[in-house]
Structure 1
Amino acid sequence: MPTWARAGCRVGLCLVFSWAATVGAAETDPLAFLQQVQTAARALDYAGVTVYQQGHVLRATHLVHLVDGTGERERQEVLDGPPQECLRQDGMEQCLLPDHRIVVMRPAHSAHFPALLLGDGTDITQHYDWQPLDRIYRVAGRACSVSELRARDALRYSYRICTDQQNHLLLKIQTLDAQGHLVDQVAFSRVSFGAEIPPGALASRWNTRNWQLQTETSQPVNLAEQGWRVLPPAGFKPIAELARQLRAGHRVDQLVLSDGLAAISIFIETFDPKRDQSIRQGGLTQGAISIYRMRLASYWLTAVGEVPAQTVRDLAHAVQYLPQAAH
């Protein structure tokens, strides 16, 4: 698309142009296929219920995603457990916690299902083999094509995905370990598109008058200038360095690494003897999410990612703190 067209079009129209441009090449080119799936997640109007399965735990979420002249707008409502609803627009997220009558304003988190890529995805084919499978499946009553992204090493998981045959939206994704066993999965159980979505689908059902407002802010930070040295796992590159103010007096620095599909975050916060003495060091795995926490100098270091447990453990132990480097 010429520069003048990119500069002059609205967000939704640009997304549609980008989507149409990738359709032809996507049948044989892995990167074009992945970008086509990613653009569908951003350009289409869709609504439905997604179900996330982690072991024996199931969590359902009502999701609405619309694109208009103002850009992308989205509403997510958790349907299991304590009520929670998040409204997203223009890079900001407003989360409602009805049980506590609290509204949390914060920068929107990274892309989530049915989005697939983190960044442009240009390096993904160096670490995953894309294999379309010769079979058609059905998810939420819609025909979808199955393909696999097979990890080339033990640092990351593999994925089996099912994409809508008509509009290429990701309908289901399964995370697989090195033996091909299911780790977790998320899929639409019901989905509708375009004119099928009722008016007012983005409107919250909660009246937040007189609720408490909490604001979480973040700003760019240079961790190397503070003396931190991080050796990322092969194929993972830094995509964000942030200082996050979660509440008064509680700052957490975050480094986000990604290989284009999976992401790992390293959280760094000052050790508080009164608050943190009872916190256990070591690892924990919940479905595809691995967590490893350790004490380093006068800091807590926590590595969290949708990667095998050994990957986050090795990453945490590879972090160095050299305060003299900050000077």
Structure 2
Amino acid sequence: MSKRTERLGWVWGLGLAGLLAAAPAHAQVPAAKEAGAVVAAVTEMSIRDWLERLHEASRRRAYIGTFVVSSGSEMAVSKIWHVSDGVQQMERIETLTGAPRTTLRRDDEVLTFVPDQKLVLKERREALRLFPDLLRAPGQKIESFYSARALGIERVAGFDAMVVDFIPRDHLRHGYRIWSEKNTGLVVKMQTRNAEGRVLEQVAFTELQLDAPVRMDVLARQMENTAGYRVIQPEWRKTTPEAQGWRLKTEVPGFQSMSCHTRAEPSAPSTVQWVFSDGLASVSLFLETFDPRRHTKEATAADGATHSVSKRVGDHWVTALGEVPAETLGLFIQALERTR
């Protein structure tokens, strides 16, 4: 579960880490009335109100914590150090279970250290955030596809947290239940749920220190200290679907095209990654030339909240991947069309 652990750590740092910083004026009401007052205040906010607080709420927030990611019978534990100066954000995530692995991030720059192999993977991951795209997607009508509902206050990791559901309005996306520390807005727990309300994946802090003494210069030196490691840096180049000869015949409701990159390595065939988002969930299409030696079986797979669908489309092999139902991925593949 290392990839999931890294991604969800990124969620704490640059996405959910302030998503629910709401109604500070109600933080001082008496305890007996507090839950009702918070629910009333939160109910008045639209989902866009919530999401538009995303970038500002996580600024200038420093913390250290231990969080657990669970999916089915699997569980992974990691420790995170996070800091922001209002402009730049940095964090370190260290796995405490499974194979040792440390991930350091400066905004979208990511270095993953694998000590057992003396290997460092250096990447840029602009598409990894869970809620990355609302503010970059003009005309995004997210209210047509989700609603927000306040549920009350619960205690998580020693902190009182507001609980809010993000509810999908159709069957093409999952829902989210989020616990937000009531004073700072930091998300201390999150569940991804299917249409029946079953928890597909959960991440929660078990220990948290707010306003911790995390220093950017220290994390920056750790990122630069690759001595004794072999550094691998896959080359992704920005492009457009049109330039690569692809388009969608029909749109998948709610999803907008956000980015497109190609990767070309001497030891691997050229791959196109086309990323979509509905403002909450994201989907990636990986497109490559069909190779019967490698692409032997079409398949659908699930890993917690993440589904993947692999299928041949003409002379190409397509893998759709995202935290959405498999049906949604199928619609993307059905809509794909080669233009040359």
What is the TM-score when the length of structure 1 is the normalising length? 0.82
Shift of 1:75: 1.0
Deviations 1:208-234 (A, max 9, x none): 423211112222112123321223320
Evaluate the alpha carbon distance shift between residue 53 and residue 196 of structure 1 in structure 2; reply closer, same or farther with a 3 A threshold: same
Shift of 1:47: 1.6
Q: CA RMSD in A?
A: 3.0
Conserved 8 A contact 1:62-1:77: yes
Evaluate the alpha carbon distance shift between residue 183 and residue 219 of structure 1 in structure 2; reply closer, same or farther with a 3 A threshold: same
Q: Structure 1: 5+ residue runs without aligned partners? A: 1-18
Query: What does residue 161 of structure 2 align with?
Result: 144
Shift of 1:40: 2.8
Query: What does residue 48 of structure 1 align with?
Result: 65
Which amino acid counterpart does residue 131 of structure 1 have in structure 2? Answer: R
1:215 correspondence with 2:230: no
Identity score, percent: 30
Aligned residue-pair number: 301
Shift of 1:123: 2.7
Shift of 1:248: 4.3
Deviations 1:121-178 (A, max 9, x none): 7532221111111x21111111000111111000011111111101011111111111
Residue range with higher mean Cα deviation, 198-207 or 251-260 = 198-207
Evaluate the alpha carbon distance shift between residue 302 and residue 232 of structure 1 in structure 2; reply closer, same or farther with a 3 A threshold: farther
Evaluate the alpha carbon distance shift between residue 117 and residue 211 of structure 1 in structure 2; reply closer, same or farther with a 3 A threshold: closer
Match of 2:183, SS state, is coil
1:100 correspondence with 2:117: yes
1:180 correspondence with 2:193: no
CA distance in 1 between counterparts of 2:56 and 2:280 reads 15
Conserved 8 A contact 1:22-1:32: no
Conserved 8 A contact 1:111-1:118: no
Conserved 8 A contact 2:60-2:86: no
CA distance in 1 between counterparts of 2:163 and 2:157 reads 14
Deviations 1:177-200 (A, max 9, x none): 111111111111111122455898
CA distance in 1 between counterparts of 2:227 and 2:205 reads 33
Residue range with higher mean Cα deviation, 150-159 or 58-67 = 58-67
Conserved 8 A contact 1:244-1:252: yes
Deviations 1:228-269 (A, max 9, x none): 122332000011111134564432211111110000000011
Query: What does residue 296 of structure 1 align with?
Result: 313
CA distance in 2 between counterparts of 1:232 and 1:76 reads 36
Deviations 1:277-324 (A, max 9, x none): 4x421211111101000112222100001011111122212211131x
1:119 correspondence with 2:129: no
Conserved 8 A contact 2:89-2:106: yes
Higher relative contact order (CA 8 A, sep 6+): 2
Match of 1:178, SS state, is coil
Q: Structure 2: 5+ residue runs without aligned partners? A: 1-19, 26-40
Residue in structure 2 matching 1:233, options 252, 277, 286: 252
Evaluate the alpha carbon distance shift between residue 229 and residue 69 of structure 1 in structure 2; reply closer, same or farther with a 3 A threshold: closer
Evaluate the alpha carbon distance shift between residue 138 and residue 20 of structure 1 in structure 2; reply closer, same or farther with a 3 A threshold: closer
Query: What does residue 242 of structure 2 align with?
Result: 224
Query: What does residue 282 of structure 2 align with?
Result: 263
Match of 1:314, SS state, is helix
Query: What does residue 32 of structure 2 align with?
Result: none
Match of 1:311, SS state, is helix
Conserved 8 A contact 1:96-1:102: yes
CA distance in 2 between counterparts of 1:117 and 1:318 reads 24
Evaluate the alpha carbon distance shift between residue 206 and residue 106 of structure 1 in structure 2; reply closer, same or farther with a 3 A threshold: closer
Query: What does residue 262 of structure 2 align with?
Result: 243
Evaluate the alpha carbon distance shift between residue 60 and residue 247 of structure 1 in structure 2; reply closer, same or farther with a 3 A threshold: farther
What is the TM-score when the length of structure 2 is the normalising length? 0.79
1:51-90 residue pairs with structure 2 within 5 A?
51-68=68-85, 71-90=88-107
Conserved 8 A contact 1:23-1:36: no
Query: What does residue 5 of structure 1 align with?
Result: none
Shift of 1:42: 4.3
Evaluate the alpha carbon distance shift between residue 282 and residue 317 of structure 1 in structure 2; reply closer, same or farther with a 3 A threshold: farther
CA distance in 1 between counterparts of 2:133 and 2:169 reads 19
Deviations 1:46-82 (A, max 9, x none): 1211211111111112111112387211111122211
